[in-house]
Amino acid sequence: MPITVLEPTKQLEGLYTVLRDRETERAQFIFFADRIIRLLVEKGLDMLPVTPKTVITPTGAEYQGVEFQGHICGVSIIRAGESMEQGLRACCRSVRIGKILIQRNEETAKPHLYYEKLPTDIADRYVFLLDPMLATGGSALMAIDVLMKRGVPPERIIFLNLIASPEGLDNFNRLHPKVHIVTGKIDSNLDDKAYIYPGLGDFGDRYYST
């Protein structure tokens, strides 16, 4: 299974330290989370196919560059995934965004699909699946099943998340090994409530202050 982890620079470690701190206020949490989301989007965009393209610069020189191939769209898993939409739009101004609502049963930790609204031509696009946390992977795996039923090949799905658990990655490797995962951190484990440890708490609650 293709997994890409952001380079562990001092700058990135500083960003995660702010997010993990339970004393961090909402405005700060949003600001630093958005910075990491932008890095994840840029890394995901770097995985899209390109073809050679020659342009002429303002000085009249010929420049051998590249041009991206294939259309993309974002699909956010409501609600926390919606926090990543602006980061995608900041890099791709006219990108189309679909939404999938999957909620986890707090007792069984299993997901349930409630709602989906996706671009009609999604089967012809590369899909950036957006959800900040990969815990058990149940919600994201169900979302991928939805995308595949709509004709999206798994190798054209790029799942972006800020933190992943080893258990969630194992589930992806077992069920959808062709999906590319781009994450900022791989944490230690899941606790007895299926939350990522050490983690940063409930991302959606902290981002939206609910």
Q: Three-state SS for 80?
A: helix
Handedness of CA 158, 199, 106, 34 (dihedral sign): negative
| DSSP structural state of residue 94 | T
- The CA distances from residue 137 to 31, 87, 142, 145, 164, in Å, are 26, 22, 8, 12, 9
16-32 burial by CB neighbour count: b if 16+ within 10 A, else e? bebbeeeebeeeebbeb
Residue 57 is which amino acid? T
Task: Tabulate helix, strand, coil % of the chain (nearest 5).
Answer: 35, 30, 30
Maximum pairwise Cα distance, the chain: 65
CA distance 189 to 133: 13
Give the catalytic positions in this structure.
104, 108, 202, 205
Q: What token pair was written down for 111?
A: 């997901």
Beta bridge partners of 67: 51
